[in-house]
Amino acid sequence: MQVPTRRGDKIPRPKADPFMTAEKYEELKAKLHKWKTINRPREAAEVARLALMGDFSENTGYQVAKGRLRGLNQRILDLEDLLRRAEIITPSGETDQVRLGHSVKIEKTGDKDGAGHFKTYKILGSTESDPLSGIVSHSSPLGAALLGRRVGETIQIESGGKLTGYKIIRID
């Protein structure tokens, strides 16, 4: 007998980046707890309620509720896996070169007006990435280029077919 597979089971999902701060780890643990203790029992009760309405093949509400429960169960499994593989970022006090957890002040080089544009970015894992807030992933083009570099070094990033240079001003 062949075991049926759903469409979603055939699509390989890349593993989420395990690097995160202790705060993010605790936030994800709280989210998992909520999903398991509040959301899943509520969804399961809804499936059970709709199952009482008769023929499963024509019960659209039941099919939708089952799909939501399956999706929630998959998210729970994915989050449990991420938390099991989590590597907590603890920034070292050594600021001789850029490492995970460090904040880096950079200056855009080659500006025509001569005024430097300074920005500070914190290098974290992709689960916490928020470039607009100054948090970049270590696997992003900028984050990857900064890792291992020292104050005074210049890096080049290509985006949109254009090469942009940045000089490292400070590492915290």
pLDDT of residue 98: 93
147 is a domain residue: yes
Q: Running DSSP on this structure, what letter comes out for residue 56?
A: G
Whether residue 95 is contained in a domain is answered as: no
C-alpha–C-alpha distance, residues 63 and 75, integer Å: 18
Domain that holds residue 153: 103-171
CA distances from 164 to 113, 153, 161 (A): 15, 14, 10
Q: What is the pTM of this model?
A: 0.80
Q: Is residue 10 part of a domain?
A: no
Domain assignment present for 93: no
24 within a domain of the structure (yes/no): yes
Beta bridge partners of 137: 124
Residue 8 exposure: Cα atoms within 13 Å on the Cβ side = 6
Tell the burial category of 106 from Cβ atoms under 10 Å away from its Cβ (0-12, 13-18, 19+).
Answer: buried
* Claim to verify: residue 109 and residue 82 sit in the same structural domain: no
Kindly give the residue spans of alpha helices, DSSP state H, lying in 11-59. 22-34, 40-51
The verdict on 84 and 19 lying in the same domain is yes
* Strand, helix or coil for residue 114: coil
Residue 102 C-alpha from the chain's centroid = 18
CATH number at residue 43: 1.10.287.180
pLDDT tens for the 172 residues of the chain, in order: 555 566 655 666 677 889 999 999 999 999 999 999 999 999 999 999 998 887 777 888 999 999 999 999 999 999 999 999 999 998 778 888 999 999 999 998 876 655 668 999 999 999 999 999 999 999 999 999 999 999 999 999 988 888 889 999 999 9
Specify the pLDDT at position 6.
62
Question: Domain total for the chain?
Answer: 2
